[in-house]
């Protein structure tokens, strides 16, 4: 049985007050699922000191380099020291707005793993790619790039998030069947490259307009192991209600 993970991706939102609100509400999170938040870098120390034990912390991005003259970058070791367990790599906003290609994303994935962080690798297709029936080709390439860079059993100790680009922040969610189909494909692709044991243990989260009203149905699919929540994670009540759906499901 894979334990479900509900992770909030705050993007460039939030403040110390939101950290405090989530920390208060999360006090009654139980062992049924894992709860995590990924706030912007400056809020990591506040979150690390305020979150109740058992609630995990993650960052939204990481440098592929270890240290040096990379103005504006943050290394994986720094994130670990700041109390992070997770780091999101390859979010579609990083890929499209900041030009991160598969090679760079794979470098970040490797840097995170080497430092002892758990990378949450985001993959997903655009609407044009889905309409052209290229979903599996695109997601397959995104996974393969990481396998090539990270070597054998690349996905051991990692998390994948399937985030169809057309569903992010649009209010348009993939149907549970559409999501399940791609999640099953991801697990199969990882099984081919890393072996079935790694694939069976790999948490594959869904992201893209997940909210209290659709969470239970999505999380009820056999290969959906949690959610990466954007908009709804900024409202503590909505976020915790998605968490409850995961913990009780
Ligand atoms: P959304 O974002 O829940 O607002 O669609 C998800 C994400 O981008 O991780």
- Ligand 1 atom closest to the Cα of residue 228 is 9
* 151 and 168 Cβ atoms separated by less than 8 Å: no
The pLDDT of residue 191 is 97
Q: Taking the C-alpha atoms of 202, 176, 244 and 167 in order, what is their torsion angle to the nearest 10 degrees?
A: 90
- Please indicate whether residue 183 is annotated as part of the active site: no
Ligand 1 binding pocket mutation candidate from 14, 127, 168, 234 (most atoms within 8 A of CB): 168
Q: CB atoms < 10 A from the CB of 209, how many?
A: 21
The pLDDT of residue 27 is 78
- Ligand 1 atom closest to the Cα of residue 161 is 9
- Which residue out of 34, 93, 129, 163 is catalytically annotated? 163
Structure-block tokens of residue 53: 């034990």
* 186 and 139 Cβ atoms separated by less than 8 Å: yes
- Residue 6, beta-bridge partner list: 35, 227
Closest alpha carbon to 44 in 61, 64, 27: 61
Superfamily holding 5-248: Aldolase class I (3.20.20.70)
How far, in Å, CA of 225 to CA of 104, rounded? 26
| Positive or negative: CA dihedral 172, 177, 178, 181 | positive
How far, in Å, CA of 6 to CA of 8, rounded? 7
The pLDDT of residue 172 is 87
* 171 and 194 Cβ atoms separated by less than 8 Å: no
How far, in Å, CA of 39 to CA of 200, rounded? 29
One digit per residue, pLDDT tens: the chain, 249 residues?
A: 799 999 999 999 999 999 999 999 997 667 789 999 999 999 999 999 999 988 999 999 999 999 999 999 999 999 999 999 999 999 999 999 999 999 999 999 999 999 999 999 999 999 999 999 999 999 999 999 999 999 989 999 999 999 999 999 898 889 999 999 999 999 999 999 999 999 999 999 999 999 999 999 999 999 999 999 999 999 999 999 999 999 988
**What's CA 192's distance to the chain center, in Å?**
22
Structure-block tokens of residue 147: 């396998």
How far, in Å, CA of 99 to CA of 156, rounded? 27
| Positive or negative: CA dihedral 68, 74, 80, 82 | positive
């Amino acid at each position: 049985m894979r334990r479900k993970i509900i992770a909030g991706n705050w993007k460039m939102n939030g403040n110390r007050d939101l950290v405090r609100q989530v920390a208060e509400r999360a006090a009654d999170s139980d062992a049924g699922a894992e709860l995590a938040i990924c706030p912007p870098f400056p809020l990591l120390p506040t979150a690390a000191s305020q979150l109740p034990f058992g609630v995990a912390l993650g960052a939204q991005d990481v440098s592929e380099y270890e240290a040096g003259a990379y103005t504006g970058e943050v290394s994986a070791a720094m994130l670990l020291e700041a109390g992070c367990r997770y780091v999101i790599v390859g979010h579609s906003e990083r890929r499209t707005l900041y030009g991160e290609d598969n090679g760079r994303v794979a470098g970040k994935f490797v840097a995170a793993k080497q430092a002892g962080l758990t990378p949450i690798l985001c993959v997903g297709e655009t609407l044009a790619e889905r309409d052209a029936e290229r979903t599996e080709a695109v997601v397959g390439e995104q996974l393969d790039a990481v396998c090539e860079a990270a070597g054998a059993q690349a996905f051991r100790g990692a998390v994948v998030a399937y985030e169809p680009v057309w569903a992010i922040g649009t209010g348009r969610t993939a149907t549970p069947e559409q999501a399940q189909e791609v999640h099953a494909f991801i697990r199969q692709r990882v099984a081919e490259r890393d072996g079935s044991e790694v694939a069976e243990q790999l948490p594959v989260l869904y992201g893209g307009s997940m909210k209290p009203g659709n969470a239970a149905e999505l999380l009820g699919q056999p290969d959906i192991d949690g959610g990466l929540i954007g908009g709804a994670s900024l409202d503590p009540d909505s976020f915790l209600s998605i968490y409850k759906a995961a913990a009780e499901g």
